[in-house]
Amino acid sequence: MKMYMKFLAVGCTALMLSGAAYAAGGWNEGNEEQDEALHLKPNHEGGIETYEVCSACHQLNGWGLEDGTFPQLAGQHAVVTIKQLADIRAKNRDNPTMYPFALPREIGGAQALADVAAYIEKLPMNPNNGKGPGKDLELGEKLYKDNCVRCHGERGEGKPDKFYPLIQGQHYNYLLRQFEWIRDGKRRNANPDMVKQIEGFSDKDMVAVMDYVSRLTPPKEKLADPDWVNPDFDW
């Protein structure tokens, strides 16, 4: 509860950081903290403690919000979460809302990244993620199979050994926003292969393929019951 009170006091005010001031970073060149976190043994209790900070936006279940303001984190590959957190902290990925809450003074160092990433990976996923409009699913399926399967897999399961994220079960509005930012060069830590692959996508193409992706469901063993409540925060 103390973390919620701290969050309310600080608020979700975006930190006004200029993208020009950020150090340029590669897609996955890594940094010292990322490399360290990837080789640490995660601690479950530490993961719970760290995730309490994250839960103020991403919700106690890790399911985010259907409107896409905050993505579902539950089930995400631990290596992907470590990479994204390390990139945000190293200013290789622009996320001014999340940045102040991801700093070491808020959640800890490399061990905290390892702990929370492992904890998030084991959270059961939302069975009712936000879906797209459902108008051009045939087009979306074709675009996905022609352009996305090689990296993200047939069912959006990703490839943790290559840091390709799991995208199945993700909220449509979040998927759409990130796809647009990657296509338009606004997400600096995006895989350059993906940027090149989707540079010719029209807005119609973008909506269709993300609509299709939003309907890629995780396997049953990864899904929670719709009314599941995270017992780690049963106050």
Assign 87 to helix, strand or coil: helix
Chain centroid to Cα 57, Å, comes to: 12
Chain centroid to Cα 144, Å, comes to: 19
CA-to-CA distance for 117 and 5, rounded, in angstroms? 23
pLDDT for the residue numbered 235: 65
pLDDT for the residue numbered 191: 94
Q: Measure the CA angle with vertex 43, ends 103 and 79; round to 5°.
A: 65
pLDDT for the residue numbered 14: 31
User: What CATH code is carried by the domain that includes residue 92?
Assistant: 1.10.760.10
pLDDT for the residue numbered 28: 74
The parent domain of residue 84 ranges over 2-7+27-123
Backbone angles phi, psi at 159, to 5 degrees: -140, 95
- Claim to verify: residue 201 and residue 166 sit in the same structural domain: yes
Mean pLDDT by groups of 10 residues along the chain of 235 residues: 41 31 51 94 98 97 97 98 96 94 96 98 98 97 98 98 97 98 94 96 98 98 97 87
Let me know if residue 131 belongs to a domain.
no
